[in-house]
Amino acid sequence: MQVIKRVEGGEQPHWPLGPFQIRLPFVHYRWEMAEMIQGMIMFVVGLAMIPLLESTLGIPYEAALAFTFIAGILYTLPALLGVPLVPGWITPAIPVVLVYLKGFEPGPEAIQALFALQIEVALIFFILGATRLGSKLVEIIPNSLKSGIIIGAGIAALMGELKVGGRIDGTPISLILGAFISAYILFSVSFKRLTENHPIARKIANFGMVPGMILAMIIGWIVGEYPLPEIEWGMTDPNFALLSEYLVFNVGFPNLETYLIAIPTAIIAYVIAFGDIVIGFTLVKRIDHLRTDEKIDMSVDRVHLVTAIRNFIHALLAPWPGLAGPLWTAAHATVAERYAIGRKSMESIYSGGGTFWITGLIALMILPLVTLFKPVLPIALSLTLILTAYICIMVGMEQLKTSVERGVAGIVAVTLAMPDPKSTIFAVVVGLVLYFFIEKPRLLGKTETKSDDEAAAVAPQAKVETP
């Protein structure tokens, strides 16, 4: 129950604060039990960033755990400030960020590099949100370049896990089976048909990637690919004092060259994140007409501003290789599907997302849960990256309209996926050059892109003469 009730057909109650809408649990929206249960399990995906913090930034586990607490607090900001999307990382950008960080030594140098990147991402979101230019910027970026970046990020994510020396070498059974199970539940046509007729299948589908992740962890323990957990009782004790030693205030701020090197990766991260915003609002619009009892304010500018705030705070207090993204696709899709069932199932879109991440933050404080999942954090990260790779490649291919666009996007994708810290710069340059010299009918002037089917429909029929 909540103190302030919603008027039928109106917006969820809130306190206005400039461009934001403040909503508190139990005051402006009710507590959702289903999302609470999911949050107690899916918080482990947030913990999965710890191995990357350890390997890329050289941060010890105790400090990395403190980083996840700051991330957990920031996950709650969108629902608090009036954004109807379940936030997460800019997950498809993680492989690109990792390639960028390979050019820096783990430790102070890598921390400075990540700070520069995340500050630039925050500035992009803030400027484009404040000026309302976000959608216009993405519109002028060639479709082939955008799709190539998305596909390339997916390829890089997949190759990072499947390459020689990657995670698959050490844990092949749990990783392969976990990936297949997760992909089957999330994407399989046959499983979707099962959900239409079997209540148990529908309940499994509501938990997104969680069933596959849990099964992968159990398999890893059974076959000995991961050590059994040593359960500890009590509350977690993140080392914030140790965390402070790995911030730019102590390791030093980056030089101008580092900021310049980070610019292409920051732009690519924004393009990918804007695609997430589009996907998130598409999911909301798809079910909004089913719920005439609530009017949802889908402000792209507010999403930009909130995402900017999260990235600014992360850069200063907890540099984050996953960056602060506007959408966790799997979790948001799950919330949206339950919201579509009706008000009894979920009181508001904000109550679902708000309950989910507040519970996730609480779960971070429960030491038995954290220690249970500690040995298998790498599998949670691997499954996230593999499933993200599938989605990136699928979405990127869907956006390409012509064979010429597909060719340019393919070259951009391969260039981006190269294991070179400068591959992001090369990919952008190659994509722009190919767009102007191959894709455009005229080097100067605006041209309209037609799909292969549209071009065939308007093309004049060739006249055939018989001898």
**pLDDT score, position 446:** 53
Q: How many angstroms separate the CA atoms of 172 and 165, rounded?
A: 11
More confident residue, 397 or 337: 397
Q: How many domains does the chain have?
A: 1
Does residue 464 belong to any structural domain of this protein?
A: no
What pTM was computed for the model? Answer: 0.81
Q: Is 213 a domain residue? A: no
Mean predicted confidence (pLDDT) in 132-160:
78
Residue 457's pLDDT band, with cuts at 50, 70 and 90, is: low
**Residue 448: per-residue pLDDT:** 53
Residue 350 included in any domain: yes
- Look over the chain and give the mean of its residue pLDDT values, rounded to a whole number: 85
Residue 347 lies in a domain: yes
- Mean pLDDT of all residues in 104-126: 95
- Collapse the DSSP code of 16 into the 3-class scheme (helix H, G, I; strand E, B; otherwise coil) and give the result: strand
Looking at per-residue confidence, does 375 or 122 come out higher? 122
**What is the mean predicted confidence (pLDDT) over 35-54?**
86
Is 19 among the domain residues? yes
DSSP states of 33-97: HHHHHHHHHHHHHHHTTHHHHHHHH---HHHHHHHHHHHHHHHTHHHHHT--S--B--GGGHHHH
Asked whether the predicted pLDDT for residue 188 surpasses 50, the reply is yes
CA dist 223 and 227 (Å) reads: 10
197 domain-assigned: no
Where in the sequence is the domain holding 288, given as residue range(s)? 15-171+226-439
* Distance, CA of 233 to CA of 463 (rounded, Å): 82
pLDDT band at 461 (very low <50, low <70, confident <90, very high): very low
Per-residue confidence (pLDDT) for residue 463, from 0 to 100:
44
| Cα separation of the two ends of the chain | 84
4 inside domain: no
Q: Is 190 within the bounds of a domain? A: no
| Cβ burial 374-409 (10 Å sphere, 16+ → b, else e) | bbbbbbbbbbbbbbbbbbbbebbbeebbbebbbbbb
Averaged pLDDT, 290-294? 86
Q: Give the range among 233-237, 348-352, 438-442 with minimum mean pLDDT.
A: 438-442
pLDDT beyond 80 at 77: yes
Residue 466 has pLDDT above 70, yes or no: no
